[in-house]
Amino acid sequence: MNATSALAIHYVASVRIPSERANAYQILVQCDALAAAGHRVTLVVPRRANSFPLRDAEIAAYYGLRAAPQLVRLFTIDWIDAVPTRFQRVPFLIQSATFACSVKRWLARHPADLVYTRDQFSLALLARSGVPLVYEAHDLPQRPAARRELVRALGSSLGVVAITQGLADDLAALGVDRSRIEVLPDGFDPRRFADMPEKAAARANLGIAADARLVVYAGQFFAWKGVDTLVDAAARAPRLTVLLVGGRPEDRARIEARVRASGASNVVLHPPVEPARVPTYLAAADVLAIPNSAKEPISARYTSPLKLFEALAAGRAIVASDLPSLREVLHDDNAVLVAPDDAAALARGLERAIDDADGSTRRVARGRADVQRRTWDARAAAIVEHARRWSAATATRRGAGR
C-alpha cells in the first residue's frame, strides 16, 4: 500500500442499499468522504429485494452525498423478508454466507489496495486469503464460538476500527492485538447543519407551536434505544411535548401501545423522514433526547449513535443516558446525563435542561466545540492513515520472518 498516493478501496457491506436504516447512511457517507479525499471507492453490496422506494439515481441527493456512489451488487440468496421475523435467522445466515462467497470471487478479479468491511462473514472468508483487509467493528457476536472465529479472522487482517473504546477493550480482552485496534467513533456532516433554520422557523415549517416545551428524539425505536423509557418519562412530565421521529412499523406499534398504556398524551409520533430533513426537526427542539438502555452491551458499551454527533452539531440541549458508550463523547459540561432505564430521572433531566437556560447555553457551546473534529472527512483520513500504518507494519513483520 503506497504511503501517499490515492488508494483503490473496496467497501464491502452486507446491507440493503439504499435503506431506511442508519447503517446504510453511515456506510454511504463514509464512502463519500473517502471518495472526496481522492480515493477510488467501490461499495460492494448484495443484490437483495428492496421495498425502500428509492432509485439508485436518487441515492446521492437523498443522503446528501457529494457524488453518486460507485455501486457493485453481487449475487446472494435472499429470502429473509419472505418469512416472519422470528424465523429469519436461517435465511439471514444463508444470505450472508452466499454474499461472502460472491465477494471472494469478485475480489479475485478486482483487487484493491484496501478492502474495508463491517461484515463478519466476509471477514471470516477473506482474512486468510491475503486481501489487505480492515474490519470496522460495531458489535461482538454473542456466541463464544463466533467470538473465537472473529478473533482468528482478525488475526489475519491488517487491523480493526472499533467505534467505541468499550468495544476496543473487549476485543483486546478476547485476544486481538491492541496495536492493531484503533478507536474511531462515528461522526457528522457539517454541510447538513450549515443552513439549519432557527427554532421559530423550523417550528413554523413543521406546524409545531412556538411556545411548546419540545423534546425531540429522531431515530430507530429498538428496545435498546430506550424510547420506551422516554415515553414513560413523558407521562411524568406533562408540561413537555415529546416528538418521536422514526421507527420501523413493528417498533412504532410497540411504542404506540406504550403511549396508550402510560397515558402520555403529550407524545407525538412521526414517521421516518429523509436524512436531509432531520436537521429541521432537531432545530425545532428545545432538548434532544438520547435515552439509551443499559440492558444490552450494544447500547451500554458499543454504540456510537449518529444522533449523538448530530445533536451536538445542531446546537440544542442534550439529555442522555449516563452510559460508558455515550460517556466517550458526552460529559457533564456538554450534556445532562441521567440514570439509564429510569423514567423519573429522565423526566427530571429533560425539565432541568429546559428550565436551566444558562446552563444549557454553556453546555451547547461546549458541545459544538467538542464535535468539530468528529466529521466524516476527518474519520476518512484517519481510516486511511491507520490502514497505511498497519499495512507497513504487516510488511515489516513478513519481511522479518523470511
31-45 per-residue burial string, b: 16 or more CB within 10 A, e: under 16: bbbbbebebebbbbb
119 within 8 A of 142, measured Cβ to Cβ: no
Longest dimension (CA), the chain: 72
* 133-137 vs 114-117, strand pairing mode: parallel
The angle formed by the CA atoms of residues 357, 192 and 195, to the nearest 5 degrees, is 65
Using CB atoms within 10 Å of the CB of residue 53, give its burial: 0 to 12 exposed, 13 to 18 middle, 19+ buried: exposed
pLDDT per residue over 310-337, tens digit each?
A: 999 999 999 999 999 999 999 999 999 9
pTM for this entry: 0.94
Q: How far apart, in whole angstroms, are the C-alpha atoms of residue 31 and residue 383? A: 11
Same CATH topology for 8-187+375-400 and 190-371: the answer is yes
Grid coordinates representing 67? 457524488
Q: Which CATH number applies to 190-371?
A: 3.40.50.2000
Q: pLDDT averaged over the chain?
A: 95
Interval 113-137 mean pLDDT: 93
Q: Is the dihedral of CA 307, 12, 29, 135 positive or negative?
A: positive
Query: Starting from the edge strand earliest in sequence, which strands make up the sheet with 267-270, in order?
Result: 267-270, 241-245, 214-218, 287-290, 317-321, 336-338
Grid coordinates representing 103? 465477494
Residue 400: predicted pLDDT: 63
Q: How far apart, in whole angstroms, are the C-alpha atoms of residue 303 and residue 309? A: 12
- Residue 400 phi, psi dihedral angles, 5° rounding: -70, -25
- Write down the domain spans for the chain: 8-187+375-400, 190-371
Going by pLDDT thresholds of 50, 70 and 90, the confidence category of residue 297 is very high
Give the closest residue to 185 by CA, choosing from 134, 137, 120, 153.
Answer: 137
Q: How far apart, in whole angstroms, are the C-alpha atoms of residue 357 and residue 223? A: 31
CA distances from 166 to 138, 169, 263, 323, 339 (A): 11, 5, 37, 11, 19
Residue 399: predicted pLDDT: 65
The conformation of residue 375, written as its DSSP 8-state character, comes to: B
Q: Tell me, which fold does domain 8-187+375-400 have in CATH?
A: Rossmann fold (3.40.50)
SS3 state at 185 = coil
pLDDT per residue over 64-107, tens digit each?
A: 999 999 999 999 999 888 888 888 889 989 999 999 999 999 99
- Residue 163 phi, psi dihedral angles, 5° rounding: -85, -10
Q: In the chain, pLDDT over 90 holds for what percent of residues?
A: 89
